[in-house]
Amino acid sequence: KKGGYDTFMLKEIFEQPETLTDCIRGRITDDCRRIVLSGVIENKERFVHANRIVIVACGTSWHAALIGKRVIQEMCGISVEVEYASEFRYSSPFITKDDVVIAISQSGETADTLAAIQLARSKGAFVYGICNVVGASIPRSTDSGTYIHVGPEIGVASTKAFTGQVTVLTLLALCVGQMRGTVEEATVERIAQELKNMPIYIKEVLRLDDQIKNLSKIYTYARNFLYLGRGYNYPTALEGALKLKEISYIHAEGYPAAEMKHGPIALVDSEMPTVVIAPTDSLYDKIISNVRQVKARGGTVVAIITKGNDAIKEIADHCLEVPDVPECLTPLVVSVPLQLLAYYIAINKDRNVDQPRNLAKSVTVE
């Protein structure tokens, strides 16, 4: 069942080239000019005339939602809000029939997300689901939706579902952007082509396995970790920290890098490693200054960087190189080394990574 791997989690990390192939299949035309998400196309009017989009989710799915917010705003010129499903209901949400509410859930059974959907529908919003488990409660209670089709995820820590959710959100952004006329055709073609190449890129990233296994040994006994990222990778910093917390039981905090100087920098010392997600993107120069600030305070830095960026190697203590992809796709390539780093640190500590203490795969209580 584990396909020769020691754990479900490792199997699920390593099958991401195939799960992303399945997730994309039939959704991008051969010429990469059109995105075919039937649930979106069949409800074109709701998306084209949407006043705004609100995304509700929990945990890792909420992190995917934060990435979705950026890519939808960039491609569709529409305001997107992201809410924890558990908070949404109690925040007197201002929802109208002109809003589109997107609910993201791997299991399709998360009680808070289900309750948020019911509230949104009662206010007349059009509710769209992005789920993995076919026929679960959430896909049955939405108006329409898209399955991520990544296959059963057994490990409690979400890995392949996260990359599937980000992929579907990117497809949705491109599809809605085309319908609204807010994205250039050349942009759609370029990103669609790179999404098709993504399984190859993920295979390349998985070759970091040995390097990450060795690196993990240095950090097994760290008691606190800081994860920093900006822009598209602020959410991946949150996700990297969550992965480490839930399976290794090491305290980790994810932060948007520039917020570091507003508090968390006080924690930095030689005992607390910082993982910096620093692909060569529009915010690269800014994040490099954050790396320097950590180093100046005696901190150690593990940086996830774009292949070929040698300058940063002189500043960071350890670098993990990922392929150069369009900015909105960087979360896909950087999240795999973050998953592997959390995984090996947890294994070094002899943790039960598939079933961490106190956690359940689906949270069916509010």
CB of 97 to ligand M6R, least distance (A): 25
Q: Site residues for ligand M6R, window 232-251 (CB under 6 A)?
A: 242, 246
In sequence order, what are the residues at sequence separation of 6 or more whose Cβ sits closer than 8 angstroms to the Cβ of residue 304?
Answer: 275, 276, 277, 278, 279, 319, 320, 322, 334, 337, 338
Per-position DSSP letters for 11-55, written without gaps between them:
HHHHTHHHHHHHHHTTSB-TTS--B--HHHHTTHHHHHT-SEEEE
Amino acid identity, residue 214? N
Nearest to 79 by CA among 103, 52, 100: 52
| CB 124 to ligand M6R: min, Å | 24
Map the footprint of ligand M6R across residues 330-359, applying CB under 6 A.
359
Minimum gap (Å) between residue 107 Cβ and ligand M6R:
3
Q: Is 142 in the site for ligand M6R (CB under 6 A)?
A: no
Selected from 157, 191, 241, 275, the binder of ligand M6R by CB under 6 A is 157
Identity of the residue, 98 or 366, whose beta carbon is nearer to ligand M6R in the bound complex: 366
Can 213 be counted among the known catalytic residues? no
- Out of 158, 167, 306, 339, name the contact with ligand M6R by CB under 6 A: 158
Give the one residue of 100, 125, 156, 250 binding ligand M6R; rule: CB under 6 A: 156
Is 106 a binder of ligand M6R (CB under 6 A)? Answer: yes
Minimum CB distance to ligand M6R, residue 178 (Å)? 27
C-alpha span between 319 and 252 (Å, rounded) = 19
- Residue (of 245, 264, 267, 248) closest to 256 by Cα position: 264
Residues 6+ apart with CB under 8 A from 354: 7, 8, 9, 154, 155, 156
> Whose Cβ is closer to ligand M6R: residue 39's or residue 139's?
139
Contact stretch for ligand M6R (CB under 6 A) within 38-46, 156-164, 251-259, 272-280: 156-164
| Residue length of the chain | 366
Interface residues toward ligand M6R, by CB under 6 A = 58-61, 105-107, 110, 113, 156-158, 242, 246, 359, 362-363
- Residues with a catalytic annotation lie at 361
